[in-house]
Structure 1
């Protein structure tokens, strides 16, 4: 019973000490080193970073646009050069001379053009700078009769063209009484082909060239 009485004051003392003691304080923080994310400096720094990034993007885009513009200019220049080398749409390429043949009956100088070529012939002759007529026969010798028939045939074709509206000053006539055959003159079929007037319609006037002098 006495031991119990002695321990009781000691326990009370411990309990008082325990109730009076406080827990350890947490470590202190240096407020000078704290940089909150929402401070004015941090916000300004972030704005600067964003503007720098936007500037880089704009510079890259501007470079791409410049490359595209350069390529477009090069392609356009190439197309313009190619178009410049092309002939105008309304410029027609020169064609070769057109040659028509008019056939005649034996001993005749009566002109009889086929209907399917008469209009084309006269239209071309009206637009031509020169028309040449060559009267021919199926004669075998240069007789007066053959010469007359060849001349009359060329004259008849000339009169036909003039009546159709061709300028007579642009027509040249020649004739040949024999030779210059286009077919075998020994048979009737060949002789029928040889009795003719050749009409050569020029697309351009002949250009005289100086002959070379041999030394």
Structure 2
């Protein structure tokens, strides 16, 4: 009996020690935090890297160029080319396409389109030459700067003014006397009539109206000045 009891105690002690050891291992494994996920450094790129900045700039330029090309294509339906509408003096028309140009001997309005937010003057060489010829023969030239804005603002008014001034500067540099030129500008409220909302960009324009003779000025007397309700000037 003493030997059996000794063996039993030894087995019990060993079993207890094994259980304690296993429990300690389990506790240790549970308390160890998991390793953080690894990052593939090859896919990382700083936001302000030169390549990333250049890529964003190229994407912006492409988007603006696409919009501008689309708008210029729509603006082409506003009027016929100036070269056809403004024939060379003394040269007869040669085709059906110019039949209307031969009749353009009175007042005529040339519409010059502009890009979005731009006052840069850009007219094809043939049209520009025809424009200058007509301007030199005209007695008075009215230049009206306009935008496609739906609401007036200082910025839109300034843009309309710069467009009118760009047209006047072009004509003056081409030899048209400044005393022939009359400039007006309006930021909003004068769109081209009959346009669909989708085509309103065609109202980004300058209108150049040529007068073959200077208009006659008639002064009207105020009814408050003479106490009468009628004007004294003869029309």
TM-score with structure 1 setting the length: 0.52
RMSD: 2.3
Partner of 2:142: 132
Please state how far the C-alpha of 1:186 moved relative to its aligned partner: 2.2
Unaligned runs of 5+ residues in structure 2 are 1-102, 224-228, 231-235
Conservation of the 8 A alpha-carbon contact between 1:136 and 1:195: yes
Deviations along 1:45-103, one digit per CA (max 9) or x if unpaired, are xxxxxxxxxxxxxxxxxxxxxxxxxxxxxxxxxxxxxxxxxxxxxxxx99311210110
Deviations along 1:25-55, one digit per CA (max 9) or x if unpaired, are xxxxxxxxxxxxxxxxxxxxxxxxxxxxxxx
Partner of 2:19: none
Indicate yes or no: 2:209 matched with 1:200.
yes
Partner of 2:122: 112
Unaligned runs of 5+ residues in structure 1 are 1-92
Please state how far the C-alpha of 1:179 moved relative to its aligned partner: 1.3
Partner of 2:161: 151
**Count, aligned residues:** 121
Partner of 2:183: 173
Please state how far the C-alpha of 1:115 moved relative to its aligned partner: 2.7
Q: Which stretches of structure 1, 4 residues or longer, exceed 4 Å deviation after superposition? A: 210-215
- Kindly name which structure, 1 or 2, has the bigger radius of gyration based on alpha carbons: 1
- Structure scoring higher RCO (CA < 8 A, sep ≥ 6) equals 1
- Cα distance in 2 for residues equivalent to 1:166 and 1:180: 27
Q: How does 1:40-79 map to 2 (within 5 A)?
A: none
